[in-house]
Structure 1
Amino acid sequence: MRAISITAFGGPEVLQVGEQPIPACKPGEVLIKVHAAGVNRPDVLQRAGNYPVPAGASPLPGLEIAGEIVDGDFSQTTLKKGDLVCALVQGGGYAEYCTAAYAQCLPIPVGWTTLQAASLPETFFTVWSNVFDHAHLGTDETLLVQGGTSGIGVAAIQIATALGHRVFATAGSDDKCRACEALGAERSINYRSEDFVEVVKSATGGMGVDVILDMVAGDYIQRELNCLADDGRLVFIAMLGGAKANVNFGQVLLRRLTVTGSTLRPRSPAFKAAIASQLRQHVWPLLDAGKIKPVIYQTFPLEQAAQAHALMETNAHIGKIMLSL
């Protein structure tokens, strides 16, 4: 099969197309003929040597796919050959064939193409597991999304808005702010010209937000603590602004704040299966009903994975960057 390999750690040019053996299914897995794969920030980090591959996972990049099931272990699943699914995978998505745990496969939403559906798993699993499962965003609570036009940001804004939450977002330009608001954010803040703490405090009557989803960390953390309501939760999923911060933990103590974080890829199959079940129950009906829309910025053929990574590193995109097979 054709597949994209990381030939050495470095820039986008280290991604090269070549021939690889078709992967064999383990118990509980299906083999998918890949129609499309999503490009995500962890792929870029892996390519640069900053995101180790878990033991037993494919060394090929790619964490989300959609396509047709062509083989597998069907002993404990209703899935069958010929089914079209999207799936969260541990690696190997930049290829013509990829294995996936059947418990991490989800149906193609009504009216969506396989290309559109391939944009869902990594971001939707990440948002649900962090915002709703880990930070417990509850009824009538508010959310601030840092990086609102990233793939994660677009998913978080749309899911939380569709479930009835007030959502705020940050972005790096006025055009991107308008895009966040078109997706459902009540107010988007241009972090280059506005103070997100002041804007959020003003919009919430001085209370702040209940949950913040952060990809920046670094010197954002203290400002985010200032931005949280009492009993608020800050959950970060990346450290684009650095792994260290000078923080006044007095606020954490006195206002009962929670600072936490997670990464999805190393989590157990049982954890991912539980998130898939929650998405199927709570989010997939919203997709089927058209209340959440695909947001795809640009699609590249598999052979142009390097160009897709280069685009991601410019941060110019709004929504997902995809590979098509």
Structure 2
Amino acid sequence: MAALPLQMRAIDPDETGGPEVLCLVERPVPRPGAGEVLVRVAAAGVNRPDVMQRKGLYPPPPGAPSIPGLEIAGRIVAIGDGVDSDWIGRTVCALVAGGGYAEYAVASIGQCLTVPPGLAMTDAAALPETLFTVWTNLFERAYAAEGDTVLVHGGTSGIGTMAIVLGKLFGLKVIVTAGSDEKCARARAIGADLAINYRTQDFVEEVRRFTAGTGCQAVLDMVGGDYVPRNLACLADDGRHVSIAIQGGAKAEISIWDIMRRRLTLTGSTLRGRSTEFKALVATELSDAVWPMVRDGRLRPVIDRIFPLAEASAAHAHMESGDHVGKIVLRVGEDGE
């Protein structure tokens, strides 16, 4: 195997600000530590936390690279202590705590999933962040099960589209909200049972109508703020509400008596700061329960646009415009097709 280069191209802004701070720079190629692998990155997913980090609102957790990027796909070119040498040369996608916007990135071996034949690297790079998020929150924290009706806000986002696709594969009825009739139509085409234009329709009333007044079993919420009491009004008795972002505000006023009376559960989580042990456990669960659907072609991410790494600023501007449906991906290496 050829010797590793000392330097690589990366997006690693020295200051916070708008998309224009995302310029190509030279950075040292990282080296994997114990239990880690070095991946030559073919493609990297773009996610909302990357935008928040760029703005200075979501700093990397301790020990994580300053280079943004939480999911990658590529080929393992070096390994750290404790990793079987058979991993060298394998094509994987991985959840990382940072470092994805670069030609090389380090990943914990436990957070790597082998890319099956026929899966494009840009598709593979779009899977880890949304799959880990939807699996842990919709299926584990919200206990969604076959036959349940779930409400997912941000239905045409990367997480929203994955919730639709994965939810339908597991027998859920999926209701989503989106900000235009066009996006609602796209959500229905992807598989949503009901798509509600939150600008022109009352989603509480629409959920009640769709469920014949009983409400849904779970809500996956990335809005927060004044959506929370409205979400609770959408829930059936014993329903579960899971918060995964607070784009609409970090505080809400709710009726505790209503929670008690209807036995509702309010929970939430973040993913980036969780331990490598937890993420490895989730990767194992995905490998067993979801990856067979990836291998046989039933599960594919919804891809909106693919940008070259050098155009990361344009990718962020596109995400902030709100016009995308599905995932935005950066093509990094020559094999990022």
**2:257 maps to what in 1?**
250
Checking the alignment, whether the CA contact within 8 Å between 1:74 and 1:80 is kept in structure 2 is: no
Partner residue of 2:111? Answer: 104
Separation (CA, whole Å) in 2 of partners of 1:292 and 1:198? 31
Letter in 2 for 1:323: L
2:268 match: 261
The whole-number CA distance in structure 1 between the counterparts of 2:84 and 2:110 is 8
Q: Aligned with 1:192: secondary structure?
A: coil
Counterpart-to-counterpart distance in 1, 2:50 and 2:83: 31
> SS of 1:252's equivalent?
helix
Quick one: which amino acid aligns to residue 299 of structure 2? I
Structure 1 unaligned segments of length 5 or more: list them.
none
Shift of 1:138: 2.2
CA distance in 1, matches of 2:126, 2:216: 28
Shift of 1:109: 3.6
Which amino acid in 1 is paired with 2:208? K
Change over 3 Å in CA distance of 1:74–1:164 after alignment to 2: farther
CA contact (8 A) 1:217 1:242 kept: yes
Following TM superposition, by how much is the alpha carbon of 1:139 offset from its aligned partner in structure 2, in angstroms?
3.1
Gaps of 5+ in 2: 1-7, 333-337
RMSD: 1.2
Separation in structure 1 between the aligned mates of residue 89 and residue 66 of structure 2, nearest angstrom: 27
Deviates more, 1:194-203 or 1:71-80: 71-80
- Show the counterpart of 2:184: 177
Out of 211, 214, 225, the residue aligned to residue 218 of structure 2 is: 211
The reply on whether 1:222 has 2:243 as its aligned counterpart is no
Moved more, 73-82 or 187-196: 73-82
C-alpha separation in 1, matches of 2:183 and 2:167: 18
The secondary structure found in structure 1 opposite 2:175 is strand
Counterpart residue number, 2:324: 317
Instruction: Indicate the residue corresponding to 1:192 in structure 2.
Output: 199
Aligned residue identity for 2:26? E
Q: 1:230 to 1:85 in 2, by over 3 A?
A: same
Confirm whether residue 271 of structure 1 aligns to residue 278 of structure 2: yes
Query: In 1, Cα distance between the equivalents of 2:39 and 2:120?
Result: 16
Equivalent residue, structure 2, for 1:3: 10
The answer to whether the aligner puts 1:23 opposite 2:30 as a matched pair is yes
| Residue in 2 that maps onto 1:137 | 144
Q: Is the CA contact 1:37–1:119 (under 8 Å) kept in the aligned structure 2? A: yes
What is the alpha-carbon distance in structure 2 between the residues aligned to residue 167 and residue 108 of structure 1?
A: 28
Deviations 1:58-101 (A, max 9, x none): 11100000000000137344752111000000100000000000
Structure 1 residues 140 and 77, CA gap change in structure 2 (3 angstroms): farther
The separation in 1 between residues aligned to 2:317 and 2:276, in whole angstroms, is 31
Establish whether residue 157 from structure 1 lines up as the match of residue 164 from structure 2.
Answer: yes
1:95 aligns with 2:102: yes
Of residues 152-161 and 175-184 in structure 1, the stretch that sits farther from structure 2 once superposed is 175-184
Aligned-partner residue type, residue 30 of structure 1: V
Q: Quote the residue 1:40 is aligned against.
A: 47
**Cα separation, 1, equivalents of 2:260 and 2:218:** 17
The reply on whether 1:84 has 2:91 as its aligned counterpart is: yes
1:236 aligns with 2:243: yes
- Asked whether the 8 Å contact 2:18–2:55 carries over to 1, the reply is yes
Q: Tell me, what secondary structure is at the counterpart of 2:23?
A: strand
Q: Helix, strand or coil: the match of 2:12?
A: strand
Secondary structure at the counterpart of residue 207 of structure 1: coil
Contact 2:83 2:109 in 1 (8 A): no
Distance 1:169 1:197 in 2: 12
- CA distance in 1 between partners of 2:37 and 2:318 (Å): 31
Residue aligned with 1:6, SS: coil
**Given the superposition, is the C-alpha separation of residues 154 and 9 from structure 1 closer, same or farther in structure 2, using an over 3 Å criterion?**
same
What displacement does 1:35 show?
0.2
Distance 1:72 1:78 in 2: 7
SS of the aligned residue for 1:20 comes to strand
CA distance in 1, matches of 2:193, 2:207: 10
Q: Deviations over 1:3-34 (max 9, x none)?
A: 00122111111112110000111100000000
Partner Cα separation in structure 2 for residue 74 and residue 115 of structure 1? 29
Q: C-alpha separation between the residues in 1 aligned to 2:258 and 2:52?
A: 33
Distance 2:158 2:116 in 1: 18
Stretch of structure 1 that moved more, 9-18 or 33-42 = 9-18
Which 10-residue stretch deviates more, 312-321 or 136-145? 136-145
1:243 is aligned with what amino acid? Answer: A
Q: Is 1:291 paired with 2:291?
A: no
**TM-score normalised by structure 2 residue count:** 0.94
Any conservation in 2 of the 1:77–1:102 contact (CA below 8 Å)? no
Deviations 1:276-301 (A, max 9, x none): 11111111111222222231111111
SS in 2 for 1:160: helix
